[in-house]
Structures are given as C-alpha cells and as structure tokens.
Chain A
Amino acid sequence: MDQYAVEAVNLSKAFGGVHAVDGVSIAVPPGQRRALIGPNGAGKTTLFNCLTGSMSPSAGRIMLFGKDVTSVAEHRRTAMGIGRTFQITNVFHDLTVVENVLLALQGTSRRKWVFHRSMDFFRSNWERAGAELERVGLAGRASDTVGSLSYGERRQLELALALASTPRVLLLDEPASGLSPGERKRIAEILAELQREITIVFIEHDMSVVLGLADKVTVLHRGRAIMEGTPDEVKASREIQEIYLGNV
C-alpha cells in the first residue's frame, strides 16, 4: 500500500482563541473502517469539516489519495470521491425524497447543467434513484416530501444522499444518532454491506456500532488525537474510560 485514502497531517482549526482541532494527524488506508470517537466538543465534526472542505484549516494539510487537497474547494473534493453525512440532518426539505436522491446522483455529473431537457428525460437516473432508495429502505416514500418523513426516515435519506454519489471515501457523522434500536440495526446492516473498497470514517457514540464495524479507532479529546488502536484495545484502555466517565 503506497498511499492513504484520506489523511490529515498536523491539522489545526482555531475559532478565535479556541483550538477546536489541535495538531491532529490521522491516516486512513483504503478500505479501512475507522471510527472516530471522543466526548462532545472533542473536535470530531470540525475535523470532518476540514476533511471535506466546508471549513479551511488554520494549519496543516489534507491529502486525498495522495493528492494535497488543502486548498481545493469542497465541491471539487466531492468530485474526487469524498462523500459525507451531516450530524444534524441536512436534506432538501421541500423537495420529494426521489428529487433528493436525483440531486445527489447528478452532483458529480455534467448533467446538472442541462437546461433544455426535462428531468423525466433521463430514465436511467430515475432507475438508479429507485435502487438507492431501495438500499436504505425508503423505496415506498419516493414521491413524498421530506417534510412528511419521520426523523429516522430522514436519517436514512441522509445516508442515501451520501451513498448516491458513489464515494471512494465516506465520512459519516453520527449516522445512528437519535434512532431507535431497530433503525440502528438497519443502518449497521447497510454499512456492513457496503463494498470493501470504500473507505469509511465514522463518528459514533454508540459503541455497539463501533465494535461491529470498525477496523481501527481514533480517540479525540479536546482537539487532540490521544489514542489509536483496535476497538478492543480502546475499550480496554483505562485512560479512555476515565475520559468518558461512563459514557461508553
């Protein structure tokens, strides 16, 4: 293996005087499932934002498949193969479920600039959208507006949007948060079924999801990466238990 799928090198992000991310280095080889855990405020989402490009770091570099993308715009990084979900569900509220997925599908395609043909013209698109909805279990809700979806269904849609652009690197920000046990199980199943080639970095608080899916775990605390290891190693670590104070 000669390059990492996604890498942060000495990354820092400061807001005013506060260092949300403080000199974090993390390197994820292709195909790995990496869990990112840590107490609230540890800087996990901020790290994600720097990786995807929605925020620019104060210091450090970000690499995507060996290329330095630190100054590359967010939408270009997506075209290069990075996809993400948001911690607070960020879907298109006044559009239908299938329109949401169609937008995700055409995001990295030239088709998004076509202005003289109706959306109906692109048959293959609709079929693919159907398949994506099938995958997350929303096939029956295709023509409903997002407004009528339950919280759990919106989280499913959130995941579908990230998957639809066939990313090579998938960043999931608490994909299971706020879901019922049944819904959590389904999310875990969907993630487990994803192709092995896809690199997944996910932020999670639910240890069962972490243990079931993660190859390796990175622990963040107060903006610093304080430990890296297998799920069992991290679970056994006294230091980590103290930090969480029983959150696990």
Chain B
Amino acid sequence: MGVAAKVGIGCAGVLALVLPQFLNTFWISLLIQILVFGLLALSADLLIGHTGLFPLGHAALLAVAAYTTAILEVRHAIPTLLAAPAGVAVAVFFSLIFGVAVRTSGVYFILVTLAFGHIVWGVLLRWSSFTGGDNGVGNVPAPTFGPISFPTLSSYYYLALAVVVVCTAAYRVLVRSPFGLTLRGIRESESRMRALGYNVVAHKYAAFVVSGLFAGIAGVLYIYWNRFVSPATTTLVISAEATLMAIIGGTGTIFGPFIGSAIILVIRNYVSGFLVQWMTVMGLVFIATVLWAPDGLLGLARRYRARRARDATSPDMASLPKR
C-alpha cells in the first residue's frame, strides 16, 4: 500500500473516531447505516469481486439475521449475547440453502439469487402470524452485554464501528489467503481451475456461506441500530443497491464497498430530503456507473494514476467482471 493510501486511511480513521462528537443524530445515524450496508456490500463483493458471481438476494440474508435477533429479543427476552450470534447463525443457515445456487452458471445464478431473495421477502410478508407481516418487528431494545449497554446512537456508533473494523480486518486476511487467490482464479477461468485440480463448485459454495456470515453480522448490526425490521428491508431494490455499492466503489477492494455505500446512502437519505425525484437520480447513478465507471471510483483512480504514468487503454465494458 502506498504512502498516500496509508495517510488517507489514517485520516479516515481519525475522522471516524472523532466526527460523531460534532454531528447531530441524523448524520450519526447515516454513518452507522453506511457502516452496516458497507459491510453487506463487502459480503457481496467476496462473490462479485473475487469469485465472479453476482448475487442479487443478499438483503434477504441481512433481513433473516435481523428478524431472528429482533424476535428473540422482543418476544422471548433473550439477551444480546445469545440473540446476536443466533441471528448470524440463521443467516449462515440460509446461505447454506441458498448456496445451492452456485451450481448454476453466471446468468442463472443472478436470476436464482434474485428469486431466493424474493421468496424470503414473500414469506416475511405473508407469514404474518410469525413475522408480523407488513408491520414487522419493532421495539427492539438496545444491545446489552451484562452491565454494559449501548442506548444512545453515539455509543452504538462506536460499537458498530468496532465490529465493522474487526470484520473488515478478517475479510482482508481472507482475501489475501490461498483461499482468496483460489476464488480469484475461479473468477478468471473456471475451466482452467478444474484442469488444475480445484473442485470449483465446493469453493464457490464455501465463498457463498462465508459471504452469508458477513451479511448476517451486518443484519445484527442493522437491527440494533434501527430497532425495527420489516419486509421492506429485504427487497430486490436493497440487494441490487448492495451490489451496486460494491461496483461503484470498486470491486475486489476493501474500501470500495464502503465508498459505494456512502454514495448510495447519501442519495437515499440525504438527497431524498430535498429532491422528490431522488429515485431517478439513483437510477441515473446506476446507469452512469455501468456505462462510464465499470470498475468503480477506486478503479477510476487507479486508471488515472496509470494514465499519468504511461499510455493506458480507455475504460470499456471489459473492465466489469464478466459472466
């Protein structure tokens, strides 16, 4: 990592620690959201940027974790120390099932994960006796670990930040490991990998489940922030935005998903405050990213630096991971 990058991360780190002291609850809330959905986008990017699979149902994994933890806390008074891991476990369980999608190839995988996400949405909506239907599950108490609790938004921000930093560090170790390299090999050429002795399906499945683990953690972070969850959290729209966050920031990177998360959420939460047609803006951002910045902002930065150094090819559709 270059000096500039290290300095940048250092500054970001300092800002992250200090900023909440100067911001009002709207902005702290937004920062927490950026962290939570950034983690979701990161989980999706393990598949997109590293394995070459494009999931469109990850919001469902976040949602089942959120619902599980919510229901355990609200209806059964299970303490956070148990309810949180339970939420993550349920997300992993669902990814063990959804993971069969890796048996399908590129296009079908996109459609199947989309459909899976929709099943979850539909069941959450219709099974109202258990899930509360449209009304969702609310009044989730603040996360409490014995005598320590995080009742204020500000205190929760630091908890969420800590969790996300730990997850991101673990993610970084993962992608730099032999397993991570294996995934990238699969992204580049499955046929070559098979010829080299790799059980490609098994690796993809493992990647999917690990991705589900991170998504589940994001889900638990989500519910303790929002204190409420409803089927609206698991729509295709949210899953698509998670994918777009990874792409807009730059796939295959550690910070890209968080950059993308910041952009999308600012449009969704801030721009929507003064612009009625904010969804059109979001749609245009999707379109513009695909047409002009297919390897994201970090990719643009990389290419800009490369162009300054020597001649470089112009951006084209080939940069977006195929299949």
Chain A residues engaging chain B, CB cutoff 8 angstroms: 52, 54, 73-75, 78-79, 83-84, 86, 90-95, 99, 102-104, 106-108, 111-120, 122, 161, 165
The closest CB in chain B to the CB of A53 belongs to B194
Across the interface, do A74 and B194 meet the contact criterion of CB distance under 8 Å? yes
- Which of A79, A116, A117, A118: most chain B Cβ within 10 A? A118
* Minimal beta-carbon separation of A127 from chain B (angstroms): 16
Q: List CB contacts (< 8 Å) of B178-203 with chain A.
A: 178-182, 184-185, 187-189, 191-200, 203
Residues of B within 8 A of A93 (CB): 188-189
Across the interface, do A73 and B196 meet the contact criterion of CB distance under 8 Å? no
* Minimal beta-carbon separation of B258 from chain A (angstroms): 22
Interface of B is mostly: helix
A108/B177 contact (C-beta < 8 A), A92-B185, A95-B188 known: no
Q: List CB contacts (< 8 Å) of B121-149 with chain A.
A: none
Closest 10 CB pairs of A and B: A107-B196, A78-B197, A107-B197, A92-B188, A115-B179, A108-B197, A103-B185, A118-B176, A74-B194, A114-B178
Q: Which of B174, B177, B181 contacts A103 (CB 8 A)?
A: B181
Residues of A within 8 A of B203 (CB): 112
Residues of A within 8 A of B185 (CB): 92, 95, 103
Q: Which of B178, B194, B210 contacts A106 (CB 8 A)?
A: B178
Number of inter-chain CB pairs below 8 Å: 101
Across the interface, do A122 and B178 meet the contact criterion of CB distance under 8 Å? yes
- Which of B187, B188, B196, B200: most chain A Cβ within 10 A? B196
Q: Tell me if B173 counts as interface (CB < 8 A to partner A).
A: yes
Q: Which of A52, A74, A91 contacts B189 (CB 8 A)?
A: A91
Residues of A within 8 A of B176 (CB): 118-120
Across the interface, do B179 and A90 meet the contact criterion of CB distance under 8 Å? no
Bound Cα distance A76, B310 (Å): 44
Bound Cα distance A73, B187 (Å): 20
Across the interface, do B181 and A115 meet the contact criterion of CB distance under 8 Å? no
Q: List 28 A-B contacts (CB under 8 A).
A: A54-B194, A75-B193, A78-B196, A78-B197, A83-B195, A86-B192, A90-B192, A92-B185, A93-B188, A94-B184, A99-B184, A103-B181, A107-B196, A107-B198, A108-B197, A112-B179, A112-B198, A112-B203, A113-B178, A113-B182, A114-B178, A115-B210, A116-B174, A117-B173, A118-B173, A118-B177, A122-B178, A165-B196
Across the interface, do A99 and B181 meet the contact criterion of CB distance under 8 Å? yes
A90/B189 contact (C-beta < 8 A), A54-B194, A75-B200 known: yes
Across the interface, do A78 and B195 meet the contact criterion of CB distance under 8 Å? yes
Residues of B within 8 A of A79 (CB): 197
Q: Which of B189, B195, B198, B206 contacts A92 (CB 8 A)?
A: B189
Across the interface, do A117 and B194 meet the contact criterion of CB distance under 8 Å? no
Supply 8 further A-B pairs (C-beta < 8 A) apart from A75-B200, A86-B192, A107-B198.
A52-B195, A91-B192, A106-B182, A112-B178, A112-B182, A113-B178, A114-B177, A120-B176
Q: Which of A114, A116, A122, A165 contacts B197 (CB 8 A)?
A: A165
- Which of A79, A92, A115, A122: most chain B Cβ within 10 A? A115
* Minimal beta-carbon separation of A232 from chain B (angstroms): 33
The closest CB in chain A to the CB of B182 belongs to A112
Residues of B within 8 A of A118 (CB): 173, 176-177
Bound Cα distance A122, B178 (Å): 9
A116/B181 contact (C-beta < 8 A), A78-B197, A84-B195, A92-B192 known: no
Across the interface, do A161 and B197 meet the contact criterion of CB distance under 8 Å? no
Q: Flag B187-231 by CB within 8 Å of A: 1 or 0 each.
A: 111011111111110010010001000000000000000000000
The closest CB in chain A to the CB of B185 belongs to A103
A161/B181 contact (C-beta < 8 A), A79-B197, A119-B176 known: no
The closest CB in chain A to the CB of B180 belongs to A115
* Minimal beta-carbon separation of B81 from chain A (angstroms): 25
Bound Cα distance A114, B179 (Å): 6
Across the interface, do A117 and B192 meet the contact criterion of CB distance under 8 Å? no
Residues of A within 8 A of B188 (CB): 92-95
Residues of A within 8 A of B200 (CB): 75
